[in-house]
Chain A
């Protein structure tokens, strides 16, 4: 879509000139950057979240390490993560910070196509073999084959539980190999007065994780991906099957699914109120922040096999990283900081600050991983196909406004399924061509 020339989107430069020359300055420094010049100047960085969060402290620690190494000051500001995501396009067209944590997939690629994100292909190249081919592939925009995000961490979506709870119940969750095993586990937890399958969907996206994995287990990754990209129909019997399975889990769910969000789910597990919970394991940082004991008690296993044809060959493992705003004041500085985040020094600084994320870089020594992280790697390793999560695998004007309410409607009234799926398909058909 955007004509790219020497890594500068012509459109963004023109727009920059219109705004007041800021873009031209950025473009100039971009050209200078080709000559391996030392990058200088203050870099502005957006932390998604509250300054008091465990994640913000990790961000600041890495940025401090960058300042220590290069002498370039990093000015960090914390912005509410939801606000940042909701207003992303407006922020990027105004006076954005140079670099920020972002998400690979549709959310990066569509914004790159619009000329809002800076091309970081050179930085990805500079990180070299520390990034696996799969990681680079995941961060590549299919429209032009360039990268607009430095991939740093990823995390698996899997069944989480507390070892102590399982021991008390006399269950061995390592043995949940089939759908029947999962139902048995839910049944046993429910009998003990706990929530069998914890779910919250107040935010409208949490239950997408359950939908994704059921679809991939039942119908395979290719069907799932095609469905999200309009090549399969939502009215297909295969999709009905997915919701039928989700419906079988409803009796074991907490009775307040639409009252709680992801943090409510986390608290259910943290307070030992539930058996299994399908969730991305990023929340483990909060367990560690609570106490090492809670963290050590946490465990993750792959969602069980349902259809032997597909086994456990797929997983949602969203890839996160650092992106650079095309309209930032110091684009080169932003790119340099982003590269630092992907480098060994950056990762070391994050881990020293207590980060439990899995870094994608091979520079990171996995022998230092704790047991939970090793298990996360094992869960990831079990899968051949990696999805990025529904709201990053499909169009933004479809995931949030259409699929989110559709799943909520189903959780509210499972009997309306046929109507819900017909409407979902009709709304996909009504979307404008990209």
Chain B
């Protein structure tokens, strides 16, 4: 029994030529398939494994653990809360300091201040480096026996404690991570500003708006799509932070992050599915902002 609606759909499908259909299925089908195989399948397995005990070798050794791994993490592992704290500090720092700084820089450079190309290049340079490389560079600079210590005339015996000094190491790590993040945000925002209709700015100037009013009332709201992307990038980058800290501290959890804990319990000598549970916690924390972002995007499309 065919209803009119179904007929309509069938007809509209027919309007695609064979070539179109092939291209479409290739362009949508193959990435989807790869995504399912390499992303969704492992994710699903990780979620299931987080409810088990296993040492990672023989599948027959997997034992059901129920919520034991999660109970262990939430109730028994103080290092989890240290990691959560560090992730939150990272997130707050990026959201309220690094990202606004990037936006400020983009705004200034967009006004073509004198020598802006030179500044742009300087701030953009760290963006081409991965966080792992940035970790290697700054570890080399700041560690005992490192370059900066050498310049200060400190040898390894009396080197200024930086990575192991808990009243400053978080700030140093944040500063190093921001070194790249600021340039990244600057670049994204600058691209957005280039597309900004300058007549809006002129109009607000004619109406007697101050610079700050123009930015807050005109530019910032108009840039909403870019703002959302930047916010999501900031949140996800903060929660998936790993490589920089791993390069500096290795698997020792001297400055723990959720992903470092996942890695330490997954890789290393003692493989336990506590690592899977850590991954799932990090995943849930990441998925929420992604969902908000997607909802936003779809809402806009519907409008």
Which A residues are within 8 Å of any B CB, using their own CB? 11, 82, 85-90, 93, 106-107, 110-111, 114-116, 194-195, 201-205, 254-261, 264, 267-268, 271, 273-274, 391, 395-401, 404-405, 408-409, 412, 419, 423, 426-427, 430-432
Q: Check A404–B253 contact: CB distance below 8 A.
A: yes
Can you name 17 A-B pairs with beta carbons within 8 Å?
A89-B57, A111-B57, A202-B164, A203-B250, A258-B165, A258-B254, A259-B143, A264-B156, A396-B270, A397-B272, A401-B265, A404-B253, A405-B253, A419-B78, A426-B76, A427-B77, A432-B272
Which B residues are within 8 Å of any A CB, using their own CB? 53, 55-58, 60-61, 63, 65, 68, 71-72, 76-79, 143-145, 155-166, 249-254, 256, 261, 264-265, 267-272, 274
Q: Check A267–B156 contact: CB distance below 8 A.
A: yes
Q: Check B65–A432 contact: CB distance below 8 A.
A: yes
Q: Which residue of B lies closest to A12 (CB)?
A: B58
B140 to chain A, nearest CB (A): 14
Q: Check B161–A107 contact: CB distance below 8 A.
A: no
Q: Check A430–B68 contact: CB distance below 8 A.
A: yes
A270 to chain B, nearest CB (A): 9
Q: Check A258–B157 contact: CB distance below 8 A.
A: no
Chain A residues, CB < 8 A from B274 = 397, 401
Q: Check B157–A254 contact: CB distance below 8 A.
A: yes
Q: Which residue of A lies closest to B161 (CB)?
A: A256
In the bound complex, how far is the Cα of B143 from the Cα of A409, in angstroms?
Answer: 20
Q: Check A391–B269 contact: CB distance below 8 A.
A: yes
Q: Check A268–B254 contact: CB distance below 8 A.
A: no
A247 to chain B, nearest CB (A): 17
Chain B residues, CB < 8 A from A395 = 270
In the bound complex, how far is the Cα of B159 from the Cα of A268, in angstroms?
Answer: 11
In the bound complex, how far is the Cα of B160 from the Cα of A430, in angstroms?
Answer: 39
Q: Which residue of A lies closest to B57 (CB)?
A: A114
In the bound complex, how far is the Cα of B252 from the Cα of A412, in angstroms?
Answer: 14
Q: Check A115–B57 contact: CB distance below 8 A.
A: yes
In the bound complex, how far is the Cα of B265 from the Cα of A8, in angstroms?
Answer: 30
Chain B residues, CB < 8 A from A202 = 163-164, 249-250, 252, 254
B31 to chain A, nearest CB (A): 27
A108 to chain B, nearest CB (A): 11
Chain B residues, CB < 8 A from A423 = 76-78
The answer to whether A404 and B252 touch (CB under 8 A), given A114-B57, A399-B270, is: yes
In the bound complex, how far is the Cα of B60 from the Cα of A419, in angstroms?
Answer: 37
A173 to chain B, nearest CB (A): 19
B257 to chain A, nearest CB (A): 13
Q: Check A194–B157 contact: CB distance below 8 A.
A: yes
The answer to whether A412 and B166 touch (CB under 8 A), given A204-B254, A400-B264, is: yes
* 8 pairs of A and B residues whose beta carbons are closest in the complex: A258-B164, A204-B252, A397-B270, A396-B270, A396-B269, A273-B157, A432-B53, A114-B57
The answer to whether A256 and B269 touch (CB under 8 A), given A264-B145, A273-B157, A274-B157, is: no
In the bound complex, how far is the Cα of B55 from the Cα of A86, in angstroms?
Answer: 13
Chain A residues, CB < 8 A from B268 = 85-86, 396, 400-401
Chain A residues, CB < 8 A from B56 = 89-90
Chain B residues, CB < 8 A from A260 = 143-144, 156, 164
Chain B residues, CB < 8 A from A267 = 145, 156
Chain B residues, CB < 8 A from A82 = 250-251
Q: Check B157–A268 contact: CB distance below 8 A.
A: yes
Q: Check A86–B161 contact: CB distance below 8 A.
A: no
The answer to whether A264 and B144 touch (CB under 8 A), given A114-B55, A202-B163, A397-B272, is: yes
Q: Check B254–A401 contact: CB distance below 8 A.
A: no
Q: Check B161–A110 contact: CB distance below 8 A.
A: no
In the bound complex, how far is the Cα of B244 from the Cα of A423, in angstroms?
Answer: 28
Q: Check B269–A259 contact: CB distance below 8 A.
A: no
Q: Check A256–B271 contact: CB distance below 8 A.
A: no
The answer to whether A203 and B252 touch (CB under 8 A), given A391-B269, A430-B76, A432-B68, is: yes
In the bound complex, how far is the Cα of B163 from the Cα of A377, in angstroms?
Answer: 37
Among A11, A401, A419, point to the contact of B58 (Cβ < 8 A). A11
Chain A residues, CB < 8 A from B65 = 432
Residue of B55, B77, B249 most packed against chain A (CB within 10 A) = B55
Q: Check A86–B267 contact: CB distance below 8 A.
A: yes
A427 to chain B, nearest CB (A): 5
Chain B residues, CB < 8 A from A205 = 252
In the bound complex, how far is the Cα of B58 from the Cα of A408, in angstroms?
Answer: 33
A329 to chain B, nearest CB (A): 20
Chain B residues, CB < 8 A from A401 = 253, 261, 264-265, 268, 270, 272, 274
Chain A residues, CB < 8 A from B265 = 397, 401
In the bound complex, how far is the Cα of B79 from the Cα of A423, in angstroms?
Answer: 10
Q: Check A271–B76 contact: CB distance below 8 A.
A: no
Given contacts A400-B251, A408-B253, 10 further A-B contacts (CB under 8 A): A114-B57, A204-B250, A204-B251, A255-B158, A258-B161, A397-B265, A401-B264, A405-B254, A408-B254, A430-B76
The answer to whether A400 and B269 touch (CB under 8 A), given A115-B58, A258-B254, is: yes
Chain B residues, CB < 8 A from A259 = 143-144, 159, 161-165
Q: Which residue of B lies closest to A88 (CB)?
A: B269
In the bound complex, how far is the Cα of B65 from the Cα of A374, in angstroms?
Answer: 51
Q: Check B164–A256 contact: CB distance below 8 A.
A: yes
Q: Check B269–A399 contact: CB distance below 8 A.
A: yes
In the bound complex, how far is the Cα of B158 from the Cα of A268, in angstroms?
Answer: 10
The answer to whether A396 and B68 touch (CB under 8 A), given A93-B57, A258-B163, is: no
Chain B residues, CB < 8 A from A111 = 57
In the bound complex, how far is the Cα of B159 from the Cα of A195, in angstroms?
Answer: 12
Chain B residues, CB < 8 A from A86 = 251, 267-269
Among B55, B58, B253, point to the contact of A204 (Cβ < 8 A). B253
In the bound complex, how far is the Cα of B249 from the Cα of A332, in angstroms?
Answer: 39
Q: Which residue of B lies closest to A395 (CB)?
A: B270
In the bound complex, how far is the Cα of B274 from the Cα of A157, in angstroms?
Answer: 32
Among B68, B77, B161, B253, point to the contact of A255 (Cβ < 8 A). B161
Chain B residues, CB < 8 A from A397 = 265, 269-272, 274
B53 to chain A, nearest CB (A): 4
In the bound complex, how far is the Cα of B59 from the Cα of A11, in angstroms?
Answer: 11
B206 to chain A, nearest CB (A): 58
Q: Which residue of A lies closest to B265 (CB)?
A: A401
Q: Which residue of B lies closest to A254 (CB)?
A: B157
Among B79, B249, B271, point to the contact of A89 (Cβ < 8 A). B271
